[in-house]
Amino acid sequence: YKQAPYESITKEKFEEMVSKLKPLDLDKTKDRAIGSKFCDSEACEIKL
């Protein structure tokens, strides 16, 4: 992706924007990792 342009802001504007951010709670995210998928003969093992 193309880099978004930088925007000059004041320290006060930065602090105002940061104060509106909500805390990031990674405990509520779901792990979407998929285990190993492979075929070693005529059969393939795929565990969902």
In a domain? residue 4: no
pTM for this model (two decimals): 0.44
In a domain? residue 43: yes
In a domain? residue 6: no
Spatial separation of the C-alpha atoms in residues 15 and 21, rounded to whole Å: 10
Tens digit of each residue's pLDDT (9 = 90 or more) over 1-36? 898 899 999 999 999 999 999 988 878 776 665 555
Q: Report pLDDT for 12.
A: 98
Q: How many CB atoms lie within 10 A of CB 15?
A: 10
Cα–Cα nearest to 36, from 45, 24, 27, 28:
45
* Domain residue limits at 17: 11-47
What is the distance of C-alpha 21 from the center of its chain? 16
In a domain? residue 37: yes
Query: Number of folded domains in the chain?
Result: 1
